[in-house]
Amino acid sequence: MVRITFIDAGGTRREIAAREGLSLMENAVAQGIEAIAAVCGGNCYCGTCRVHLTPEWFERLGPPGDYEGPVIDASGDAHPCARLACQLPVTEALEGLVVETPASQS
């Protein structure tokens, strides 16, 4: 299991034990992270699984992909390190990841 911490817009922290091979979104939904709505079920078109990374993690994981970027833009999320949790596969390289969820998803 990979330890990942979610911080909601109110500052509440919640650590989950994420399963490798699933997306960050799938793990968040399975473990009751309420700020991750995942309306489209992980198909990269609703933008309701946005997370904000620190600049260091954003550099490690890279920018949004060709389909992901427009979805983030359409959501109105201007955070420079926004990503869709459905597009982040969990591997042991994510151990210790801390993400914030935007207020617009709370």
Write the DSSP symbol of residue 83. E
Q: pLDDT digits over 2-52, tens only?
A: 999 999 999 999 999 999 999 999 999 999 999 999 999 999 999 999 999
How many angstroms separate the Cα of 105 from the Cα of each of 59, 74, 75, 90, 91? 24, 14, 10, 21, 25
Q: Are 48 and 36 in contact (CB under 8 A)?
A: yes
C-beta separation of 83 from 100 below 8 A: no
CATH code of the domain in which 44 resides: 3.10.20.30
Q: Which amino acid is at 42?
A: G
Where helices occur in 1-106 by DSSP H, the ranges are: 24-30, 55-61, 68-75
pTM for the structure as a whole:
0.95
Q: State the residue range of the domain holding 93.
A: 2-105
Structural domains in the chain (count): 1
